[in-house]
Amino acid sequence: MKSYHDYNAMMPCHDCLITAYDTDLQFIDGKPANANKNMWLHHTGLMNLNRTDLACTHWPERIGVNGNERSPFDYTLNGTRKAGYYLRQQDEVFLAVDVMNSNVNATKAQLVIEWEYVPGTPEGFDIVFPVWLDVLGKCLNESTGVGAADEVFTAMSKTGWTSPYSGDLILMVPHVHDGSTSQRVYLDGKLVCESKPAYGETAEFVTHAEKKDGHGHEHGGDEHILHISSMSQCVNVAKVEAGKGVFTIASQYDMHEHTAMKDHHGELEPIMGIQFLHLARPRDEALKDIAAMKNGNLQAFQNQVRGLEPPAETP
């Protein structure tokens, strides 16, 4: 496993609306670097350092996260909606990338992000605000009660999130790990989105494990292990009113039904249950609220993720 950080990542544009993007891990020749080649796009994350997060209000704004399923983010809903994420001229974006190589030898690969955008903030376009929902809590400090021995369980957030803004909840993009069977988002206890993973839809997401007896001896032959290759997304979910309604998230796992992923030490990966909500708001009022935002505290985010200090919400 290797981790890379870029504190001012090259973006496709500034003073523009990003309308869609795709993330991929490729070999240098442009071919997919995926599980069947023992290469993993473990995680990628983007944060706007010059805006504050709507869920964890002292962190930088979490724009999006992705894993080896390589989910697309399309704020236009396949061209049916005029909407995009506004990147200002002065905005700096923090990029974090975790990649894993389970080959014996070092292998060169490259992270590729393909963007779609329009210059400026054209009239008629809404501006999207991303919101991170997590079973571990808004600032990742909750315990889900999931232990190492659990094989079939539901991880649930203990606290919910209420939007400070009104708008249209147009898109939900989930992220989970192998072993997931379903992820659900509720608004005031009512189901508004269920995302389900698909496994091994193409050969790139299928690996092989040698069969062993109880003593670890190889017996030849192999078995297929199917990994998450896509996650269903929810679109045009609900109209949201400022200060009203509580969003919560629940993530279902079944390690009997699907093989869980192991880390580079051979131990089971901690599970994740994340849902990115995207709230579309009218351009002028959205720009006013963005201009009033302070810079996020990247060090507080990094310390909390590393377990160095507890989270502290700012007033």
The pLDDT tens digits along the chain (315 residues) read: 899 999 999 999 999 999 999 999 999 999 999 999 999 999 999 999 999 999 999 999 999 999 999 999 999 999 999 999 999 999 999 999 999 998 999 999 999 999 999 999 999 999 999 999 999 988 887 776 666 567 899 999 998 999 999 999 999 999 999 999 999 999 999 999 999 999 999 999 999 875 544 444 333 445 889 999 999 999 999 999 999 999 999 999 998 999 887 766 777 777 899 999 999 999 999 999 999 999 999 998 888 777 666 555 543
Q: CA 20, CA 7: separation in Å to the nearest integer?
A: 22
Q: What is the DSSP letter of 203?
A: G
Burial class (CB in 10 A: 0-12, 13-18, 19+), 38: middle
Write out the two tokens for 165. 């803004």
Domain boundary assignment for the chain: 2-305
Q: Tens digits of per-residue pLDDT, 142-179?
A: 776 666 567 899 999 998 999 999 999 999 999 999 99
> What is the pTM for the complete model shown?
0.91
- What is each CA distance from 1 to 106, 166, 176, 204, in whole angstroms? 11, 41, 19, 19
Q: CA 276, CA 72: separation in Å to the nearest integer?
A: 12
